[in-house]
Amino acid sequence: MIDIKVYHVSEIMTNCSYLVDKATGKSAVVDPGGKSQKLIEQIKSDGGKLEYVMLTHGHYDHILFAKELADMFGARIVTGKHNGEFLSNPSLNLTAKHFLDMTPFSADILLDDGEKFMLGETEITYLYTPGHTSGCGVFIFDDVMICESLKRLKNLEGDYTVIPGHGPFTTLEHERRFNPYMRGL
C-alpha cells in the first residue's frame, strides 16, 4: 500500500505526487514539473529513500525538475518508452515554445505497455495511453491511477481514484459517466 501526498508545482499547478510504500518507506515522485522545497524537505524527513522519479508524459510542466530531483537523491527516472524522446527534445517538451532552459536528459528505465515494477512491496503497472501526447502513460497501483490521457482508460475494468496531471482528484467511474470528452470517445 502506498501513501500519497500531492504538491502543486509549476506556474500551472501541476499535480506532483509523492508516493511512499507503507511497508518499506521507499518512495517515488511523479511528474516534478517544478521545484518544491516542501517536497524536498519531506523526502529528507522521510529518510531520503527516493527510488524513482516517474513521468506520465514529457511536457515541461511535468519534467522540468525531474533530473535535478533524481540526481539529488540518487533516484532512477522512469517513463514509457514512447516518452523518451520528449525528455531531450525542446520542441516536443515545449521548453522551446515557452523559452525555458532545461538541459536534455534521458530516462534510466523505459517501460513497455503493461510492464510492472515494484516500489518497495507495492506493484506498479504502466499503461501506454497516447492522447495528450504520443508518449503519455498511466501508473496504476492499489486503487489509484496517475494519468493524463482518457482514450484507453474508458474501457479499463474497475474503478480507480484518478490523480490527473492538473486539477482535482476524481474517479474513473465519475469520468466515464460525466466527462463529455470521455463519453465521446
Q: What is the DSSP string of 77-90?
A: EEEEGGGGGGGT-T
**Hey, what's the cell of 77?**
527516472
CB 44 within 8 A of CB 36: no
Question: What are 98-121's pLDDT values in tens digits?
Answer: 999 999 999 999 999 999 999 999
Rounded to the nearest angstrom, the gap between the alpha carbon of residue 137 and the centroid of all alpha carbons in its chain is 8
With the C-alpha atoms ordered 47, 106, 165, 143, is the resulting torsion angle positive or negative? negative
Residue 156 CA: distances (Å) to CA of 17, 48, 149, 173, 176: 22, 34, 13, 10, 10
pLDDT tens digit string along 69-88?
Answer: 999 999 999 999 999 999 99
pTM across the whole model: 0.91
Q: Residue 185 has what pLDDT?
A: 59
The string of pLDDT tens digits covering residues 20-52 is 999 999 999 999 999 999 999 999 999 999 999
Question: Dihedral angle at the C-alpha atoms of 103, 107, 108, 109, nearest 10 degrees?
Answer: 170
